[in-house]
Amino acid sequence: MTVQQLIAKMKAIRDDSDRVVERGLLKAGEKTRSRAVILCPVETGELRNSIKAQKTAPLTVSVGTNKEYAIFVEYGTGTAGDPAVDHTGKESWRWQDEQGNWHTSHGSPPKPFLRPAVREQEAYDTVAQEIRRALND
């Protein structure tokens, strides 16, 4: 492809560029979501099954979960959790279960699944691949 042909092609896809980039972002988001599902610790499968990749705004794709407890799985809790996170400073806590039994917890270690699933360079490469594909079509 000559430089003139490339310029003509770029002008032709200019109006379509947001769609091309969003397609790349969605593909990158889906790759991230797939890895997060694999890395997610499973007790009931509820957290794992809630992980989604979706367009949340123009040129924005988010990968995550709507489960409120996901942050506690990702970063841990109490003294066993990631000390850089505010919710991990509590030494211990007690609670009573449905049968009336009391329990004490000192926290749980982090089980990260979202942060390790993100590979920024791969996301850039995926978007670039979509742009190249659009230029070559």
**Could you read off the pLDDT of 5-54 as tens digits, one per residue?**
777 777 776 777 888 899 999 999 999 999 999 999 998 999 999 999 99
Q: What is the CA radius of gyration of the chain?
A: 22
Q: Do 71 and 81 belong together in one domain? A: no
Q: Do 10 and 68 belong together in one domain? A: yes
More confident site: 97 or 13: 97
Q: Do 13 and 72 belong together in one domain? A: yes
Cα separation, 32 vs 51, in Å, equals: 10
Q: Do 19 and 64 belong together in one domain? A: yes
Question: Is the model's pLDDT at 90 over the cut of 80?
Answer: no
Total tally of structural domains belonging to the chain = 2
Q: Do 85 and 132 belong together in one domain? A: no
More confident site: 123 or 86: 123
Per-residue model confidence (pLDDT) at position 6: 73
Per-residue model confidence (pLDDT) at position 5: 77
Cβ-based neighbours of 24, under 8 Å, separated by 6 or more: 126, 127, 128, 129, 130, 131
Closest C-alpha to 117, from 30, 26, 25, 24: 30
Q: Do 53 and 96 belong together in one domain? A: no
Cβ-based neighbours of 105, under 8 Å, separated by 6 or more: 77, 78, 92, 93, 94, 95
Q: Do 125 and 82 belong together in one domain? A: no
Question: Is the model's pLDDT at 65 over the cut of 80?
Answer: yes
Q: Do 11 and 57 belong together in one domain? A: yes
Q: Do 30 and 90 belong together in one domain? A: no
Per-residue model confidence (pLDDT) at position 38: 96
Q: Can you give the residue range of the structural domain that contains 67?
A: 3-76+112-136
Mean pLDDT of the chain: 89
The confidence band for 89, taking pLDDT boundaries of 50, 70 and 90, is low
Question: Is the model's pLDDT at 3 over the cut of 90?
Answer: no
Q: Do 65 and 104 belong together in one domain? A: no
pTM of the full structure: 0.78
* Other CB atoms within 10 Å distance of the CB of residue 32: 24
Q: Do 84 and 30 belong together in one domain? A: no
> Reduced to 3 states, what is the DSSP secondary structure of residue 54?
strand
Q: Do 121 and 132 belong together in one domain? A: yes
Per-residue model confidence (pLDDT) at position 87: 65
